[in-house]
């Protein structure tokens, strides 16, 4: 048994520096001679950008340069690329209008960057920006998802008729139509999946630096995937060869998806550093984050579920309008398509599924992946429908699920929407969750609550997600413009310590601990002798980054492959040193041993001899002990689970209190249970946040962002949630990766929203309420309880 | 953002109309007003210093009058550019009508818009600030108008001997503010926000 290996609750190695304020975030870094940039952003949702007069700004104290979109265009700087090509129903490609680094000719959302002022200090840059005279000609704007494609809506981009980016569909429409024709019951729902602001605790920041002696650029940026930024910015925007460009993502304070994308500010500071001959730094303030970080969700959906008379699902038909904002962010097009429609089977045997998605441009901040990314939206549609169908048909909410779950015996299971689930034992985690939640006692609790003027509601949600998008050739066939593998390098040092270089960036996921546990387990090295390095394109071979809960299933698998190579080489060395046949060497708990004997050498001794090869098989084995591996997954992984939420709604005020929240998840094999629990807790809070309090709202007339600060955008706080009861089921591990792991980063967010809303609707069933859009604020609930009479009295 | 309101003033319509265009009355009524100049019959500039909480700010703004229909009303509009903080603009229709002997009703509908960071951060602050300033303005304006009415009517009928009410008539909603002041209020709030949030 290895100490601190797989399954151990190892305390996070990274916490010492974080908790003592010694982390190094991008804004903590200051380069010699550094100048600062301030971005003037559009105050209009939509306007013609007629003229920028920079004369006064250039004369302002401390101002070094003013850069506009025209300057960048003249210098050959390209637009920000979209990383996933989607095709319309008719086979034509989606409309991908250019997304300039700085606006040219038109501004398309409040916050669209218009000009950059570079000065000696941040304050002087801002003062300089005050002197810029920008001549706008305001245009009518459209922000609401449901309005964008309507006749007469203002056109966000020329050449995108009705603001449609693409009109895409997936699944078998004919089979669905047939199933609906013979259905005994059809449940329909219309819902809005509210737009969210990502709200990472660290606002984005970037520093560009140029070394003329080496003709080399460095970008320090708060990003989830420095190699992807190097690829996109180098190849598409600035046309810099990779060898001349280094991207570093130091400590990053959370991303939730919003730091996946290649942003304008990264290209701007990199380009400007060479232009002005000094490092250039940009740090967003919180207000800027609200209008420049990609936002999440924002779907309007009509969905129908066909059932036979016993409550068995026959078919699902979904039509969604997805709001992509003013421009296409890096992975925006993939989220409401391949990460959404493919998940609509949920945990169920629904034989026929069809999904149409119309993606629209609006005068809002671009929308892209936000924790869960498409999968919470799919889960919400499916689980709301299931709950509503159960209510309509008089079926118990657990019974309808039992009746329709894909059984464990059917694994691997081919869904009608492309995915093939490799593993899963859905009934087991639902039963475990029901037990943990004392579901049997719910009716008694409901009666007790009623005596206190509270309406108790029980909400169930079961979810499945697809993590670690894969394999690359399939993703490529679906339109991905990148591979989706991961790299790892395990470098054994001469005196027995190990440095692991991983392409998976850590910004809250605890890689420095979990990955070190993998090394401890795999190579028998004490965990304190393992250093995990990530986030620097000059130090790490390659990386596709951290998103989609892929770090462990993909990045972890690459680590295992690299360790396999270390062990294979170690066996050769050990065979030579122990004067045995290579086939007779066993490796276990850090020792190479001749099978059946007590002759053995520790991996530290092997490493030492690899670097001091005095007694070494030099004819057949190279010195050194340093192995790199790339891992391209064979399939997605499919984490799944059951969430149960109990709420109490105050009859007088409509206020919701969560009184119970249970999550039983199947993440495959667990490396560090404490880290997993942390991920689940955080994920649930974000899901609860969307369900109860968070809402990103644009004024429909002016297009202004009115929830642009924490005075108006409500974040979930500790008092919103109860103490969670979470558990995992490790009985159905992933079958196709070497660790049997599935990923846990997004699960909480995916399952929680539907559980909470199902609970709220259950609490209000006495009022004839059948649906409640998120966030379920006290006001909405109160109005729902008071029905039409209350509306008339307004 | 739309604000509507109504006040009853203890003066005849013509007197209110004149007061509404008299820089001296307006300056005396406007909280923190340092200078108020009439550029022409339809244009004013104002310098206003105001304090909200710990922050003191100075603003210079310009407003124009149109649709003049003496003594029944006008439309007033203004725009303030707040630089990196965004913009504020608005217009208002002001209507005067007789409300009995020596009494005038003033109604207004303000249609205003703020943009950029001001809207992002401060829609609420601006409205609250503007309403507070409105109350102060109207208290002073009513007193000024009443004083002028008294001064210009030496042979007073019995009703005129009553002291002018320093506050709006009880029947009038205390909502809303005169357009002119509202715009100044927005503009002041813009300036405040520059200090608050940048």
Could you tell me if residue A7 is inside a domain?
A: no
Note whether A645 and A765 are same-domain residues.
yes
Query: What tokens does A511 get?
Result: 């890689």
CA distance B120 to chain A (A): 4
pLDDT tens-digit readout, A739-772: 999 999 999 999 999 999 999 999 999 999 999 9
Instruction: Give how far the C-alpha of residue A559 lies from the chain's centroid of Cα atoms, to the nearest Å.
Output: 22
Could you tell me if residue A607 is inside a domain?
A: yes
Could you tell me if residue A6 is inside a domain?
A: no
Chain A partners within 8 Å of B113 (Cβ): 702, 704
Please, what are the averages of pLDDT over each run of 10 residues along chain A (794 residues)?
A: 90 96 97 98 96 97 98 98 96 97 98 98 95 94 97 95 98 98 98 97 98 98 97 97 97 96 98 98 96 98 98 98 98 97 98 98 98 97 98 97 98 96 98 98 98 98 92 88 92 96 95 97 96 97 91 96 98 97 97 96 97 95 97 96 98 97 98 98 98 97 93 94 97 97 96 98 96 97 79 44
Note whether A625 and A506 are same-domain residues.
yes
Note whether A320 and A432 are same-domain residues.
no
Could you tell me if residue A439 is inside a domain?
A: yes
For residue B71, cis peptide bond before it (omega within 30 degrees of 0): yes
Last-in-domain residue among A266, A292, A318: A292
Q: What are the distances in angstroms from CA A672 to CA A4, A516, B72? A: 9, 11, 77
Q: What are the distances in angstroms from CA A352 to CA A314, A357, A414, B90? A: 7, 17, 12, 55
CA distance A403 to chain B (A): 49
Last-in-domain residue among A596, A613, A631: A631
pLDDT tens-digit readout, B57-116: 555 667 788 898 988 988 877 766 666 777 777 777 888 999 888 899 888 777 777 788
- Across the interface, whether the CB atoms of B197 and A43 are under 8 A apart is answered no
Chain B partners within 8 Å of A130 (Cβ): 83-84
Query: What tokens does B171 get?
Result: 């029947």
β-strand partners of B9: B104
Pairing of β A47-53 and β A106-107? antiparallel
For residue A471, cis peptide bond before it (omega within 30 degrees of 0): yes
The candidate with the shortest Cα–Cα distance to A118, out of A74, A62, A79, is A62
3-state secondary structure A41-96: ECCCCCEEEEEEECHHHHHCCCEEEEEEHHHHHHCCCCCCCCCECCECCCCCECCC
CB pairs under 8 A between A and B: 58
| A110 touches B: beta carbon within 8 Å | yes
Chain A interface disruption, residue of B79, B81, B83, most A CBs within 10 A: B83
Helix spans in A318-374 (H)? none
Distance CA A785, CA A769 (A): 8
Q: Which residues contact A552 (CB under 8 A, 6 or more apart)?
A: A514, A671, A739, A741, A743, A744
- Across the interface, whether the CB atoms of B121 and A130 are under 8 A apart is answered no
pLDDT tens-digit readout, B122-149: 666 666 666 666 667 767 877 888 888 7
Instruction: Give how far the C-alpha of residue A469 lies from the chain's centroid of Cα atoms, to the nearest Å.
Output: 12
Distance CA A172, CA A341 (A): 12
Distance CA A199, CA A93 (A): 33
Chain B partners within 8 Å of A45 (Cβ): 115
Could you tell me if residue A149 is inside a domain?
A: no
Q: Least CB-CB distance to A43: which of B116, B123, B197?
A: B116
- Across the interface, whether the CB atoms of B198 and A44 are under 8 A apart is answered no
A320 SS3 class: strand
- For residue A717, count other CB atoms closer than 10 A to its CB: 10
Q: What is the pLDDT at residue B39?
A: 85
Note whether A214 and A249 are same-domain residues.
yes
* Opening angle at CA A293, ends A290 and A296, nearest 5: 90
Could you tell me if residue A749 is inside a domain?
A: yes
Chain A interface disruption, residue of B116, B124, B194, most A CBs within 10 A: B116
Note whether A720 and A742 are same-domain residues.
yes
| A197 touches B: beta carbon within 8 Å | no
Note whether A354 and A322 are same-domain residues.
yes
Q: What is the pTM of this model?
A: 0.90
Q: What is the pLDDT at residue B1?
A: 62
| A129 touches B: beta carbon within 8 Å | yes
State the CATH number of the domain containing residue A222.
Answer: 3.90.1170.50
- Are residues A648 and A437 in contact, defined by beta-carbon separation less than 8 angstroms? no
Q: Tell how many helices (H) and how many strands (E) occur in chain B.
A: 4, 7
Chain A partners within 8 Å of B115 (Cβ): 43-45, 110, 702, 704
Distance CA A581, CA A572 (A): 9
3-state secondary structure B13-66: HHHHHHHCCCHHHHHHHCCCEEEEEEEECCEEEEEEEEEECCEEEEEEEEEEEE
β-strand partners of A302: A190, A319
Chain B partners within 8 Å of A53 (Cβ): none
| A709 touches B: beta carbon within 8 Å | yes
Residue of A nearest to B83 (CA): A130
pLDDT tens-digit readout, B7-17: 888 889 998 88
Distance CA A575, CA A580 (A): 5
CA distance B150 to chain A (A): 43
DSSP codes of every residue in A152-219? TPPPSSTT-GGGEEEEEEEE-HHHHHHHHHT-SEEEEEEEEEEEE----SSPPEEEEEEETTTTEEEE
- Are residues A349 and A385 in contact, defined by beta-carbon separation less than 8 angstroms? no
- Dihedral (CA of A222, A225, A230, A233) sign: negative
Q: Least CB-CB distance to A287: which of B113, B123, B197?
A: B197
Question: Which one-letter DSSP state was computed for residue A233?
Answer: I
The candidate with the shortest Cα–Cα distance to B52, out of B183, B184, B192, is B192
Confidence of residue B156 (pLDDT cuts 50, 70, 90): very low
State the CATH number of the domain containing residue A385.
Answer: 3.30.365.10
Query: Where in A513-602 does DSSP place strands (E)?
Result: 530-534, 585-588, 591-594, 600-602
- Across the interface, whether the CB atoms of A110 and B87 are under 8 A apart is answered no
Chain A partners within 8 Å of B128 (Cβ): none
CA distance A142 to chain B (A): 15
Note whether A181 and A239 are same-domain residues.
no
Last-in-domain residue among A292, A308, A332: A292
Note whether A550 and A443 are same-domain residues.
no
Distance CA A362, CA A163 (A): 7
- Across the interface, whether the CB atoms of A110 and B83 are under 8 A apart is answered no
CA distance B92 to chain A (A): 18
Residue of B nearest to A133 (CA): B83
Distance CA A755, CA A7 (A): 29
Q: Is B71 exposed, middle or buried (0-12, 13-18, 19+ CB in 10 A)?
A: middle
- Across the interface, whether the CB atoms of B87 and A43 are under 8 A apart is answered yes
- Across the interface, whether the CB atoms of A706 and B120 are under 8 A apart is answered yes
Distance CA A253, CA A585 (A): 45
Count structural domains, chain A. 4
Residue of A nearest to B117 (CA): A43
| A41 touches B: beta carbon within 8 Å | yes
Distance CA B113, CA A415 (A): 51
- Across the interface, whether the CB atoms of A291 and B114 are under 8 A apart is answered no
Distance CA A38, CA A42 (A): 13
Instruction: Give how far the C-alpha of residue A309 lies from the chain's centroid of Cα atoms, to the nearest Å.
Output: 39
| A130 touches B: beta carbon within 8 Å | yes
Q: Is A773 exposed, middle or buried (0-12, 13-18, 19+ CB in 10 A)?
A: middle
For B23, phi and psi rounded to 5 degrees? -55, -35
Chain B interface disruption, residue of A111, A704, A707, most B CBs within 10 A: A704
Chain A interface disruption, residue of B79, B81, B84, most A CBs within 10 A: B84
- Are residues A223 and A505 in contact, defined by beta-carbon separation less than 8 angstroms? yes
Q: What is the pLDDT at residue A690?
A: 98
Chain A interface disruption, residue of B85, B86, B115, most A CBs within 10 A: B115
Query: What tokens does A433 get?
Result: 């969750």
- For residue A481, count other CB atoms closer than 10 A to its CB: 16
Pairing of β A498-502 and β A530-534? parallel
Q: In what order do the strands lie in the sheet with A185-196?
A: A164-171, A352-361, A313-325, A296-307, A185-196
Note whether A261 and A385 are same-domain residues.
no
Distance CA A107, CA A112 (A): 6
Chain B partners within 8 Å of A708 (Cβ): 117, 119-121
Could you tell me if residue A147 is inside a domain?
A: no
Q: What are the distances in angstroms from CA A717 to CA A254, A692, A698? A: 17, 11, 23
- Across the interface, whether the CB atoms of A706 and B83 are under 8 A apart is answered no
Q: Which residues contact A438 (CB under 8 A, 6 or more apart)?
A: none
- Across the interface, whether the CB atoms of A704 and B84 are under 8 A apart is answered no
- Dihedral (CA of B115, B116, B122, B124) sign: positive
Q: What residues of B are in the A interface, CB distance below 8 Å?
A: 83-87, 113-121, 123-124, 197-198
- Across the interface, whether the CB atoms of A704 and B119 are under 8 A apart is answered yes
- For residue A412, count other CB atoms closer than 10 A to its CB: 13
CA distance B34 to chain A (A): 24
Q: Is A129 exposed, middle or buried (0-12, 13-18, 19+ CB in 10 A)?
A: buried
Q: Is the ipTM of this complex over 0.85?
A: no
Note whether A504 and A534 are same-domain residues.
yes
Could you list the residue range(s) of the whole structural domain that residue A672 is in?
A: 420-467+637-794
Q: What are the distances in angstroms from CA A148 to CA A326, A472, B69? A: 11, 34, 41
Note whether A647 and A759 are same-domain residues.
yes
Q: Is A723 exposed, middle or buried (0-12, 13-18, 19+ CB in 10 A)?
A: exposed
Distance CA B194, CA A255 (A): 29
| A135 touches B: beta carbon within 8 Å | no
- Across the interface, whether the CB atoms of B114 and A704 are under 8 A apart is answered yes
Note whether A671 and A787 are same-domain residues.
yes
Q: What is the pLDDT at residue B129?
A: 65
Could you tell me if residue A25 is inside a domain?
A: no
């Amino acid at each position: 048994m290895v100490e601190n290996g797989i399954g151990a609750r190892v305390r996070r190695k990274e916490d010492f520096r974080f908790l003592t304020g010694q982390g190094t975030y991008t804004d903590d870094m200051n380069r010699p001679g550094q100048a600062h940039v301030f971005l003037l952003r559009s105050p209009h949702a939509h306007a013609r950008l007629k003229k920028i007069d920079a004369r006064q700004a250039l004369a302002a104290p401390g101002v070094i340069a003013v850069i506009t979109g025209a300057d960048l265009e003249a210098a050959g700087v390209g637009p920000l690329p979209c990383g996933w090509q989607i095709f319309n129903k008719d086979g034509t490609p989606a409309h991908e209008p250019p997304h300039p680094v700085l606006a040219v000719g038109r501004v398309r959302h409040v916050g669209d960057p218009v000009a950059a002022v570079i000065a000696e200090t941040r304050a002087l840059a801002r003062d300089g920006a005050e002197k810029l005279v920008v001549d706008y000609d305001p245009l009518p704007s459209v922000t609401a998802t449901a309005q964008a494609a309507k006749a007469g809506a203002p056109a966000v981009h020329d050449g995108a008729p009705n603001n449609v980016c693409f009109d895409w569909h997936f699944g078998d429409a004919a089979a669905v139509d047939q199933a609906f024709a013979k259905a005994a019951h059809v449940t329909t729902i219309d819902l809005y999946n509210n737009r969210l602001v990502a709200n990472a605790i660290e606002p984005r920041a970037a520093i560009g630096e140029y070394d003329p002696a080496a003709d080399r650029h460095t970008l320090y940026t708060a990003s989830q995937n420095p190699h992807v930024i190097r690829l996109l910015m180098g190849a598409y925007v600035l046309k810099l060869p990779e060898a001349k460009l280094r991207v570093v993502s130091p400590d990053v304070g959370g991303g939730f998806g919003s730091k996946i994308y290649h942003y304008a500010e990264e290209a701007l500071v990199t380009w400007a550093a060479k232009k002005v001959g000094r490092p250039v730094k940009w740090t967003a303030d919180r207000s800027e984050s609200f209008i420049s970080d990609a936002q999440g969700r924002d779907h309007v959906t009509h969905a129908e579920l066909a059932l036979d008379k016993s409550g068995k699902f026959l078919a699902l038909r979904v039509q969604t309008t997805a709001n992509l904002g003013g421009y296409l962010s890096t992975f925006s097009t993939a989220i409401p398509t391949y990460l959404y429609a493919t998940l609509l089977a949920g945990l169920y045997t629904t034989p026929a599924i069809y999904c149409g998605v119309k993606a629209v441009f609006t005068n809002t901040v671009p929308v892209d992946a936000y924790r869960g990314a498409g999968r919470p939206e799919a889960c919400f549609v499916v689980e709301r429908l299931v709950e509503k169908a159960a209510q309509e048909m008089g079926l118990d909410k657990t019974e309808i699920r039992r009746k329709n779950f894909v059984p464990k015996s059917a694994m691997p299971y081919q869904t009608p929407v492309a995915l093939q689930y490799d593993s899963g034992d859905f009934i087991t985690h639902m039963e475990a969750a029901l037990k943990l939640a004392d579901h049997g006692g719910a009716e008694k609790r409901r009666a007790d609550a009623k005596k206190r003027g509270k309406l108790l509601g029980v909400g169930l949600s079961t979810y499945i997600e697809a993590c670690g998008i894969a394999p690359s050739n399939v993703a490529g066939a679906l339109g991905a413009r990148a591979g989706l593998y991961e790299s790892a390098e395990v470098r054994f040092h001469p005196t027995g310590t190990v440095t692991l270089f991983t392409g998976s960036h850590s910004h809250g996921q605890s890689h420095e601990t979990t990955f070190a546990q993998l090394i401890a387990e795999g190579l028998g090295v004490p965990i304190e002798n393992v250093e995990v390095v990530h986030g620097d394109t000059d130090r790490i071979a390659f990386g596709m980054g951290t998103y989609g809960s892929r770090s462990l299933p993909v990045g972890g698998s690459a680590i295992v492959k690299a360790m396999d190579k270390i062990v294979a080489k170690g066996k050769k060395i050990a065979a030579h040193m122990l004067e045995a046949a290579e086939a007779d060497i066993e490796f276990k708990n850090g020792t190479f041993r001749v099978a059946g004997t007590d002759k053995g050498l520790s991996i530290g001794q092997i490493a030492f001899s690899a670097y001091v090869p005095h007694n070494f098989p030099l004819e057949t084995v190279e010195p050194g002990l340093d192995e790199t591996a790339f891992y391209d997954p064979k399939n997605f992984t499919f984490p799944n689970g059951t969430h149960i939420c109990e709420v109490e709604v105050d009859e007088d005020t409509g206020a919701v209190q969560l009184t119970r929240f249970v999550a039983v998840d199947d993440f495959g094999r667990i490396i560090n249970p404490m880290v997993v629990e942390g991920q689940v807790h955080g994920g649930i809070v974000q899901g609860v946040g969307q369900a109860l309090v968070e809402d990103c709202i644009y004024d429909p007339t002016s297009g202004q962002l009115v929830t642009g600060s924490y005075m108006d955008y409500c974040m979930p706080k500790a008092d919103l949630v109860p103490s969670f009861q979470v558990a995992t089921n490790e009985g159905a591990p992933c079958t196709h990766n070497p660790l049997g792991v599935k990923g846990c980063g997004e699960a909480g967010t995916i399952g929680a929203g539907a559980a909470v809303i199902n609970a709220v609707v259950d609490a209000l069933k006495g009022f004839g309420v059948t649906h409640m859009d998120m966030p379920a604020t006290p006001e909405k609930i109160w109005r729902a309880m008071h029905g039409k009479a209350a509306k008339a009295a307004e | 953002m739309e604000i509507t309101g109504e006040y009853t003033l203890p003066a005849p319509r013509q007197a209110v109309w004149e007061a509404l265009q008299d820089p001296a009355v307006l300056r005396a009524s406007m909280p923190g007003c340092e200078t108020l100049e009439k550029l022409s019959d339809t244009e004013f500039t104002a310098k206003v210093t105001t304090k909200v909480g710990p922050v003191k700010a100075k603003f210079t703004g310009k407003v124009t009058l149109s649709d003049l229909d003496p003594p029944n009303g006008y439309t007033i509009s203004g725009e303030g550019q707040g630089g990196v903080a965004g913009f504020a603009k608005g217009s208002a229709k002001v209507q005067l009508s007789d409300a009995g002997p020596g009494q005038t009703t003033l109604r207004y509908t303000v249609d205003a818009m703020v943009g950029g960071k001001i809207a992002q951060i401060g829609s609420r602050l601006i409205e609250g600030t503007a309403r507070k300033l409105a109350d102060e303005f109207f208290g002073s304006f009513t007193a000024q108008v009443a004083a002028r009415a008294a001064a210009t009517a030496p042979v007073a009928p019995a009703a005129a001997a009553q002291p002018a009410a320093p506050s709006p008539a009880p029947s009038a909603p205390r909502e809303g503010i005169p357009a002119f002041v509202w715009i100044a209020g927005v503009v002041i709030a813009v300036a405040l926000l520059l200090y608050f949030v940048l």
